[in-house]
Homo-oligomer: A and B are copies of this chain.
Amino acid sequence: MKTAIEIISKTPLFNGLGEEALRKVSAITVRKDYDKGQIIFSEGDAGNGFYTIVSGRVKIFKVAPDGKEQILHIFGHGEPFGEVPVFTGRPFPATAQAIAGTGLLFFPKTAFVALIHQNPSLALSMLGVLSLRLREFTVQIENLSLKEVPGRLSSYLLYLSDEQENPDTVKLAISKSQIASLLGTIPETLSRIFTKMAAARLIRVQGGDIRLLDRCGLEDLAENGKLQ
């Protein structure tokens, strides 16, 4: 297992910190490990620190009383999460669950806030992280409110294509029911939309591999939000 300082120095949040600052940051961290399926924190819990992901994968989600889930984020290597309670003093607004065996670094609130006082560029990094996340949320709200499911799926596929730097094939890293929950729908509907989009020669579905047959068509659908 790598040391905390090795991990931190490769985490975007701590880019631009000097050797000395990195040492101080790593000194306050606590390593925590979770099995697949384990809950890291629940909506409503008080938070006394935040986390960054060393390995594995974490989903952040809300649940309706009827059990339907809405995924807010899926985070992977290097990404921080659970910061809201650190800066608001209010409880976690959502639940975090490991969706694979996961290693985390935990940053206790008081120690981290003290570091910010000594090191304003750490604050600016964190402001950047939170601002970017606000930006992502505006996109998610736009998708939920202004686009139908085919439009949301198109955006998601194009986003994956960008992320995976592959213009014509994307691999779905999470199960289709998790994708449904991320897109604000249910597995049955998502399955039907995959079929429809394949029939419209926009994509070809082979299990978890999706070929993007008509990027322009997908972009159009993602933009306009409606099929046809």
Contacts and interface: CB of A to CB of B under 8 A. Distances in A.
A84 interface: yes
- Kindly report how many copies of this chain are found in the complex they form together: 2
Q: Chain A contact residues: over half helix, strand or loop, or mixed? A: helix
Size range of the interface on A?
35 or more
B137 A127 contact: no
Contacts of A66: 224-225
B84 A134 contact: yes
A130 B86 CA distance: 12
Interface in A200-223: 223
A10 interface: no
Interface string A94-126: 100000000000000000010011111101101
A210 B83 CA distance: 37
A86 B119 CA distance: 19
Contact of A70 (B72, B135, B145): B145
Nearest to A113: B124
A131 B65 contact: no
Contacts of A137: 134, 137-138, 141
A87 B127 contact: yes
Contacts of A123: 116, 120, 123-124, 127
A72 B120 contact: no
A26 to B, nearest CB: 20
Contact of A135 (B65, B90, B140, B223): B90
Contacts of A147: 64
Interface of A: 62, 64-66, 68, 70, 72, 83-84, 86-88, 90, 93-94, 113, 116-121, 123-124, 126-128, 130-135, 137-142, 144-147, 184, 223-225
